[in-house]
Amino acid sequence: MITNDAIVALVRATMPDAEVEIFDRTGTMDHFNIGVKSAAFAGKTLIEQHRMVYGALKAAHGDGRIHAIELTTTVAE
């Protein structure tokens, strides 16, 4: 289990400008829809953008605090 604030902190540790929206899909605090908007995505493919976010969340995913993520990324202007 992980809090929304902890997810935001993990993402912003690698992308400080990130706007992060989180929705708990199951009410169990481990399945999330996550939207991230950041200027760091500029010039990156969608796969590269997703890899950046998954990289930021790797520890929480690896230790089971996050079980599943449905991810949306957007380039901030």
Number of domains composing the chain: 1
Domain that holds residue 24: 4-75
Per-chain mean pLDDT for the chain: 96
Asked if the model's pLDDT at residue 15 lies above 90, the reply is yes
pTM of the model as a whole: 0.93
| Domain containing residue 21: CATH number | 3.30.300.90
Query: Average pLDDT of 40-65?
Result: 97
Residue 31 pLDDT grade (very low, low, confident, very high; cuts 50, 70, 90): very high
Residue 77: what pLDDT? 85
Query: Average pLDDT of 9-36?
Result: 96
Residue 6: what pLDDT? 97
Q: Which long-range contacts (CB under 8 A, 24 or more apart) does 56-65 make?
A: 56/10, 56/11, 56/13, 56/14, 56/15, 57/7, 57/10, 57/11, 59/10, 60/2, 60/6, 60/7, 60/10, 64/30, 65/1, 65/2, 65/6, 65/30
